[in-house]
Structure formats: C-alpha cells, structure tokens
C-alpha cells in the first residue's frame, strides 16, 4: 500500500509536535523533581537548625543532657510543636528515625540506630558559646516520605494527562492543517491526471497569491494551450481526412471499371490490382482517422442492435482461417458461451475490434506459431483479479457481469515500456515479420476508443519471448 503525501505530511507534523510535547514533559518533570528535591533538602536543613535551637533551649534549662533521661516527654512535645504534619500520631517514631543527637564527642545521645554514613546535615548545639553537641540529619538525594512521594506521583500523573490532552488536540489540529495545506495540491494532482489522460479541458481553481496559487495559474495556462493545440490538431486531421477521402473514392471506382476490360494484358491488370489495393489501404487509413477523430471529439453515436455473439465470434474466426492457413499458423477458438447468446452492441464497431486485434496477432506470429481467441463471462468482482488489470479502470466497472475476451499469440512480443504506448495513435512497435506492408499504428488506438465507448476496457501483457495477450472487457448485455 502506497503512502500518500497527505499521510507523510500528517505524520511529519504530528511526530514533530509529539516530540516537542514529550521533550517539554520530560523537561518539566526533571525541573519539578530537582526543584522539589531541593525544597525538601532546604526544609530538612532548616528543620535541623530548628531542632538544634530546641535542644539548646532544653540543655540551657537543665545545664546538662539530664533532660533526655528524666523529661523526654517534654522534649518530644517541644519537637512536635515545630511540625505541622497532620499525621502527628506517628511523629515520635518519625523523629527518632529522621535525626540523631550527639554529644561533643560524637557519642549518640538520641536517635534510632547508628548514624548512617554519607552526607549529613550537622548543626551545633551551643551553650554559653560552647559546642556541647550536634544535631545530625541525613541529606537524602531522593524523595522518601510517603506524603512527598504521593505528591510527586500525583504531579507526574497530572503531567502525563495534560501531555495526552495536548497530543489529542495536536492530532486534530494537525489533521485539519494537513487537509487545508494539501487541498490545492490534490486539486493540482487530479488536474494533472486528467491532463495526462487527454482531458485538456481540465482546470483547477486558483485561491490566494502564494506559490501553490501561482502553480495552479500556470497549470491552467498550460491546459488552455494544450486544449487549443488539440482542437487545432483535430480540425486539421478532420480536414485532411475529408480532403483525401473524396479523391480516393473517385480513384477506386474508375479502377474497378478498368479492371473489367478483358483486353488488358496480365501485367496491366496486375498493376491495376496493386493500385486498387494500395488505394483501398489509403481509404481504410483515412476512414480510421476519421473514426478516431469522432471518438476523441465525443461525436460518435453507437448504433446498438441485438445479435448472437457466439455466431458473430464464429464468423470472425472463419474470416481469418485462410490467413492462418496461408501462414501455417495454428488458429483456435475457445468459446465458453452458449450457442445462442444475445448481446446489444454496435456490431460494426465490435467487428473492427476483432479485425484489428487478429490482424495484429497474425502480423507478428511466425509460422508454426499459434493464435487463440478465448471468450468467457465473469462477474464484476472477478474483473479486478484478472492478470495485470489496470487500476485506473476500476471506476468504470459498474455492470454486474462482463464478457472477458482474449486474443493470444505466440509471436514476438514487446517490452513493458512499449506496453504503455501500444494504444497511442500512430505508435508502431515493430515491423510485420511476414514482410508485408507494415501497419499505420492507429488500429489499436481505434480499438481502445471503441471499447471505451462501449463502457469496457482493454489492456495487454506481453513477453518478448512468449508472445502477446490482449484482454478486454465488454458489459454483459445478454437479453
């Protein structure tokens, strides 16, 4: 599955916004944790100093460390007065775990367990300007208290929720911006596809004065120039075809009369026959040119009638049997339709399709080669599963069923690059291997125009060593 420019632009903008949001989130979390940890450390240092002041007051009242043994309750009440924590019932245990009281010789007087190693806050206890002890508290680098951890986790959750909401808003805004940015680009792309398909009347609206608007304006000017040139080409080809058709017709009729004279020598009759053949060839070319111009201009009106398609296929097959015999080519018909299968097409135009495809197949198939006509019916769902089915034809498949027709030969095929040009007017991939007069290059172009006019489609697959297979679909109009 191809990723369009819209998806790429959306992913690029959204990924950039997401990276910025995540970076800001991590930066804010890091800043908060560092700031909060610094706040806790400063609070611990201030508390150490306050405890040292309380201890100094108690020491001054007793003149010694005697109060720690006989009035510890009063000492703890003085400590509790410093703390505003609402969990006061756990405070005594908390104080014992959070600081130590040492005498001047660093002997432990108060505190739970030995003094831990590492960085400590040490505040002196002074009496009469003499240091009589020390208050010691660990300088933790982590958030340890349950209340502090709960606050930190709550802030983290809030930060993640805010980041998620910002990303959600970013997702919606990015989608809207992408649609707005790409709307004129998509119009240009669609106009270009129409132009490449030969619809020179395609135009795109111009909004604003930016680079996209200038590009759209240039596109419209290019389309106008191409449309003008195309109209001039069609008019020129139509005029030339009309001018050639009349004199060619006037040549053929007298030639037919001349060839009736028995007094002419065989050499003269042979020359007249050659003139007639080439004149007929030129008239066919002119008629084909006129047909192509009508199809391109949309002026062709199909004369649809009901006829037996199975009988029609057999007739086309018998028409080319003599060609196959003369060139020693195996020619087979594989018709899966019933003996009577009524369809509604322009029979004369459908005949041109088979004539052009079979002529092309016999032209490039050597002796001992094989040409096959294969006819079957398929459903709409099966059409897109056919080999090498062009994706651009999916939109025209609107019928429930289709006739699937193949013209297969084992002659010299063409390359993949040539397959893209084979239906262009006047394109010739190679010369007739049977050394006869080469084609004009408009038969396949006319064939495609007729099939498209019947709401069908045609495509091909070819190998330079295995041959060519033309496949086309026509709506199944059995009645």
- Looking at residue 247, its pLDDT comes to 80
Alpha helix stretches (DSSP H) within 320-364: 321-326, 347-363
Q: Is 262 exposed, middle or buried (0-12, 13-18, 19+ CB in 10 A)?
A: exposed
Residues near 235 by Cβ (< 8 Å), separated by ≥ 6?
Answer: none
- Looking at residue 111, its pLDDT comes to 75
- Looking at residue 117, its pLDDT comes to 79
Q: pLDDT tens across 138-183, in order? A: 776 555 566 666 777 787 788 888 888 888 888 888 888 887 877 8
The ranges of the chain with pLDDT < 70 are 1-3, 69-98, 140-149, 197, 242, 261-262, 296-299, 426-441, 479
Handedness of CA 100, 101, 104, 109 (dihedral sign): negative
Q: What is the pTM of this model?
A: 0.54
CB 451 within 8 A of CB 468: no
- Looking at residue 437, its pLDDT comes to 45
Best CA proximity match to 58, nearest among 202, 50, 290: 50
Rounded Cα gap, residues 159 and 135, in angstroms: 38
CB 314 within 8 A of CB 352: no
DSSP code at position 425? T
- Looking at residue 92, its pLDDT comes to 38
Dmax (CA) of the chain = 161
What proportion of the chain, given as a percentage, has pLDDT over 90?
A: 18
CB 50 within 8 A of CB 79: no
């Amino acid at each position: 599955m191809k990723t369009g420019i819209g998806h790429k632009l959306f992913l690029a903008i959204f990924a950039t916004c997401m990276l910025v949001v995540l970076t800001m989130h991590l930066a804010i979390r890091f800043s908060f944790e560092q700031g909060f940890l610094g706040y806790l450390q400063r609070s611990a240092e201030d508390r150490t100093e306050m405890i040292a002041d309380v201890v100094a007051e108690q020491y001054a009242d007793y003149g010694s460390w005697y109060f720690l043994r006989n009035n510890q309750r009063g000492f703890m009440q003085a400590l509790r007065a410093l703390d505003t924590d609402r969990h006061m019932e756990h405070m005594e245990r908390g104080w014992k775990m959070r600081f130590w009281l040492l005498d001047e010789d660093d002997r432990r007087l108060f505190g739970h367990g030995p003094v831990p190693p590492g960085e400590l806050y040490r505040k002196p206890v002074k009496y009469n300007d003499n240091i009589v002890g020390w208050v010691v508290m660990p300088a933790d680098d982590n958030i340890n208290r349950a209340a502090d951890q709960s606050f930190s986790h709550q802030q983290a959750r809030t930060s993640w929720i805010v980041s998620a909401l910002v990303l959600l808003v970013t997702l919606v805004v990015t989608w809207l911006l992408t649609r707005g940015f790409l709307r004129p680009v998509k119009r240009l792309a669609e106009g270009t596809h129409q132009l490449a398909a030969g619809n020179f009347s395609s135009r795109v609206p111009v909004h604003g004065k930016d680079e996209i608007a200038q590009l759209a304006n240039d596109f419209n000017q290019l389309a106008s120039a191409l449309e003008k040139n195309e109209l001039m080409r069609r008019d020129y080809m139509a005029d030339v075809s009309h001018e050639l058709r009349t004199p060619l017709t006037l040549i053929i009729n007298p030639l037919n009369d001349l060839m009736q004279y028995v007094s002419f020598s065989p050499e003269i009759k042979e020359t007249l026959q050659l003139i007639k053949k080439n004149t007929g060839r030129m008239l066919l070319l002119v008629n084909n040119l006129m047909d192509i111009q009508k199809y391109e201009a949309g002026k062709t009106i199909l004369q649809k009638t009901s006829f037996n398609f199975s009988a029609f296929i057999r007739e086309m097959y018998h028409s080319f049997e003599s060609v196959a015999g003369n060139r020693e080519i195996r020619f087979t018909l594989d018709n899966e339709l019933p003996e009577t299968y009524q369809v509604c097409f322009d029979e004369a135009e459908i005949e041109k399709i088979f004539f052009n495809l079979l002529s092309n197949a016999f032209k490039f198939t050597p002796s001992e080669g094989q040409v096959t006509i294969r006819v079957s019916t398929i459903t709409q769902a099966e059409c897109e599963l056919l080999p090498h089915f062009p994706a651009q034809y999916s939109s025209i498949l609107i019928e429930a069923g289709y006739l699937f027709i193949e013209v297969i030969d084992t002659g010299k095929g063409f390359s993949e690059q040539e397959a893209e040009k084979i239906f262009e007017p006047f394109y010739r991939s190679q010369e007739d291997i049977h050394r006869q007069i080469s084609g004009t290059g408009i038969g396949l172009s006319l064939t495609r125009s007729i099939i498209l006019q019947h709401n069908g489609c045609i495509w091909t697959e070819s190998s330079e060593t295995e041959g060519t297979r033309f496949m086309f679909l026509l709506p199944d109009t059995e009645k």
